[in-house]
Structure 1
Amino acid sequence: MRLRPLIITGLALSMLGIGVPAWSATDPRSCNDLLSSDTPAYVVCNWMATPEEAADIARFWLENDGENMKEADPYFVGVDCDEAENACDPNLEGDGQLRGDGDPDVEGAEDGGTPECEQGGDSCYVNGSGVTQAEKTAAEQTETGKGAKTAQDAGMRVWIDAELADDWKTGKLEEAAKKVAALAAQDDVAGIRFSSQVGYNKVLGTADEMDKFVAEAAKALRTAVPGKKLGVHTVVPIFGCGGHEQCKTEIAKKHPQLDPDRIGAWLKRGLVDQLTLDNGHLSSEYTAYGIDAAQAQRNQWIQVRARAWDMYGQIGAEDAGFTAPGASKLTEEQAGKAIGERVAAVLQSDAAETVTLWTRWQDQQGTVNRVLGEKLADNATWEQLKKLGAVKARLATVYDPATPEVDPAADLKKLSEVFGQVYVRAS
């Protein structure tokens, strides 16, 4: 039996006038009748195998005293070198002995074995990490390291947010990647977002530079902290055009390096595990073509879904539109409408799995833009965002512990009221 929560909240649904898909009561795969009467409307139940199908499956394996089960040989991949017809290379690793589950591989392995370590033992890691214990310990004591731990204590899933494009341009990628890897080596850090606005902010001027940077940065980070997820943030302006041919032609000329096929290849090649696309540029980029922000957003996520990028990695949206100089000025009604359009609709598109909302940033003139008021003061926008508890795990924000509003502990506790994930900026 499978429960599938639809990614939308009752608040946003009502404001958008969008109904939950009607699951027919006569659908043989529906098991909605097994749900309690107080189950939220966005939760539905489907049988992976109906009771009748399950009975047929069990009958197939159990009938005739389990004859089919007995005749089903275990799947074996390998070569038995003791069989005369098999010619085995004597130089292969191992001692050639077959072993059962739970048997030690080599003498002493039952005690964990004793890995060979470098002099002093600093780099003795059986997981292949390129970060020494000393580097990891030092990173934990930085503002970023402490911020990551504080966010975890507040119940948030943590990513390290870094910018390595400038370091790559100046030939300092390895050094910078090692520093970021030490931060990500902390327990329970999910991964690293190693660049934002790739190709859009002009740090990397050509598509070839973008590809080379992403490939080399991914290789350096995967070598230093294997197993951690990697992500980037960028913009694909042509997506907002939808089917408008003039728009597509002009936008492609304006942003030739931001080709969707190249960007999609980062996912397909396994260079990144998460790709976040900007949602903010959609508000003004397409007005000359008669495409408003809502249409551009809809176009973008239709294009993403059509390319099935989510088959290769996690797709996210990013938006700074809820912030304003000083604090958000939205009324309760305006905030609810904006949430419905820019959060709920994005998640409901079934293309983006997460939405990252900026809650605080400072422009070049020194003006602080916030969602909350000064010193974390509540307002109408925050109260409406707090109602998105049903999708809290899919909501993320960005936090810089070097520029706190109050202090990291207070700030992150407040942010955890709305967000289940946080990108902690590396200083």
Structure 2
Amino acid sequence: MRLTLRRALAVGAMLTVAGVVTPAVAAYSQDDPRSCNDLMGADTPAYVVCHWLAKPEEALGVALFWGADDNANLKEATPSDGQFIDCSAPGSSCPEIEGEEISGDENSPAPDGMEEGGTPECETGQQCSVDGNDLGGDGTPSRSELGGTATPSASSGKTTAAQSFAATAQEVTAAAQTPAGQAVTAAKATGVRVWIDTELADDWKAGATNFAAAVKRIGALAARPEVAGIRFSSQLGYNATFKTDEEITAFVTAASDALRQAAPGKRLGVHTVVPELACGADEACKTEMRKRYPLIVPEKVESLLSAGRVDQLSLDTGLLYGGYETWKINAEKAQRNQWIQVRARSWDVLAQVAAEETGLVGQVTPEKVAARVSTPVMDAAAQQVNLWTRVQTAQGTNRLTAWDELKKLSPIKRRLAAVYNPTVPEKDVTTDLKKIAEVFSQVYLVTA
């Protein structure tokens, strides 16, 4: 009965979890006997409030109830019978569903003529949906839903629903034999989860043919089950690739729709930087950052997340280490400001948030490693930290050297990912990935 009692105690322990509530809820809890604010640190932001779901003594009572008399109450507890009707049983009466009879269940094969992963067709032959978005009567998506469809034209960035991005079995097999495919195989052997890290923005701007070829190539590479996701753009809105909000929205929409067709079930991500977040409450700083980087202000980045086009947002921390001296914001404060802002905006509800860290290459101190890697996670703002294994500069190549320090962070290993380019290995791809697996649980394989 020890295992059963342990489960009962676990139930009680779960009830002692302290919940985090919004200021609106907490407004009436100043004298609340269930408040556990005294357990939080003095530097906890004011909008974070602690509230007992069950006090420790209450949780103990729950555990004792289920564990009393050799777990008698737990043994006697049974699942609910539920409210189900067997339509095939004698005397049962179930309503008839009007319309054509449908046979089979969720595990039945697809209807004849419908390829797995393909696109459904209307009765007249037009395409009815792209990635679950409704199409108009003429087979084209609503502009309010998509702002474009799946494949861009060379001149305007608009798309057409006719393009298919799904790779054939032969293309998937061929992709596995490429250097990138062999790197995926080597990564799988180490047990790390794999992301494909690529850039589709230039292909999208180059026109439909280039874009379709790039998506099919990446889709074929990502079709393997060991690939968890695809990051399809970096420095989105920060570099000079796009000039307007409309361009960015059209690109992300087209890339997301195409990749979900080419590699269904894979998570999609983008990388960018939001300089304003590091300003904190300094209005002069925020005004200047908005002027310098108009395409990546917080609300515009959030609109991409709200649309459901990406599943992961990687926020670069590079600008935090300089650039804010005018407002007397040092690197530590800039980092703190950024992650407090991210947490306050609840972006983790819209997508997984990752911190992108390029500043740990070269010689670094143990304190710097701990601050830059663990702080975003400990602040409960980023669910993951991506570290570059090498950075090319005008002075040469800087490599990740803090391997021993990173090994000490084993409690958060699952939240650590390496960004690695297999085309320029340190020794060879297999050896490099084995070393990466000692510290990281995930790897982003950079591909062309």
Structure 1 stretches of 5 or more lacking a match? 6-17, 32-45, 77-81, 96-103, 119-123, 373-380
Deviations 1:142-177 (A, max 9, x none): 111111111111121100000001111111322211
* 1:160 matches 2:196: yes
Map of 2:378 onto structure 1: 348
**1:388-403 map, 5 Å:** 388-403=409-424
Map of 1:371 onto structure 2: 400
SS in 2 for 1:317: strand
Map of 1:232 onto structure 2: 270
Q: Structure 2 residue aligned with 1:51, among 59, 63, 88?
A: 63
Query: 1:382 deviation in Å?
Result: 2.1
SS in 2 for 1:416: helix
Contact 2:110 2:116 in 1 (8 A): no
Question: Which letter does structure 2 place at the counterpart of 1:143?
Answer: P
Query: 1:269 deviation in Å?
Result: 1.7
Q: Structure 1 residue aligned with 2:300, among 247, 262, 273?
A: 262
Task: Name the structure, 1 or 2, with higher relative contact order (CA <8 Å, separation 6+).
Answer: 1
- 1:148 and 1:366, CA in 2 relative to 1: closer, same or farther beyond 3 A? farther
Map of 2:250 onto structure 1: 212
- 1:322 and 1:62, CA in 2 relative to 1: closer, same or farther beyond 3 A? same
Query: 1:417 deviation in Å?
Result: 1.6
Q: Structure 2 residue aligned with 1:311, among 349, 353, 377?
A: 349
Contact 1:229 1:274 in 2 (8 A): yes
Q: Structure 1 residue aligned with 2:363, among 318, 325, 329?
A: 329
Rounded to whole Å, the distance in 1 between the matches of 2:98 and 2:300 is 42
- 1:89 and 1:295, CA in 2 relative to 1: closer, same or farther beyond 3 A? same
Q: Structure 2 residue aligned with 1:358, among 373, 384, 388?
A: 388
SS in 1 for 2:233: coil
Rounded to whole Å, the distance in 1 between the matches of 2:339 and 2:260 is 29
Query: 1:204 deviation in Å?
Result: 1.3
Rounded to whole Å, the distance in 1 between the matches of 2:260 and 2:378 is 32
Question: Which letter does structure 2 place at the counterpart of 1:94?
Answer: I
CA RMSD of aligned residues (A): 3.7
Question: Which letter does structure 2 place at the counterpart of 1:423?
Answer: Y
- 1:348 and 1:405, CA in 2 relative to 1: closer, same or farther beyond 3 A? same
Instruction: Report runs of 4+ in structure 1 exceeding 3 Å deviation.
Output: 2-5, 26-31, 46-50, 52-55, 58-63, 86-89, 112-118, 124-129
Query: 1:89 deviation in Å?
Result: 4.0
Query: 1:261 deviation in Å?
Result: 1.5
Structure 2 stretches of 5 or more lacking a match? 1-9, 18-40, 45-49, 87-91, 120-164
Rounded to whole Å, the distance in 2 between the matches of 1:403 and 1:48 is 57
TM-score under structure 2 length normalisation: 0.70
Rounded to whole Å, the distance in 2 between the matches of 1:414 and 1:87 is 62
Contact 1:115 1:126 in 2 (8 A): no
SS in 2 for 1:403: coil
Deviations 1:257-276 (A, max 9, x none): 11212211222221111001
Rounded to whole Å, the distance in 2 between the matches of 1:60 and 1:409 is 52
* 1:137 matches 2:173: yes
Rounded to whole Å, the distance in 1 between the matches of 2:430 and 2:358 is 23
Map of 1:73 onto structure 2: 83
Query: 1:117 deviation in Å?
Result: 6.5
- 1:54 and 1:174, CA in 2 relative to 1: closer, same or farther beyond 3 A? farther
Query: 1:52 deviation in Å?
Result: 6.1
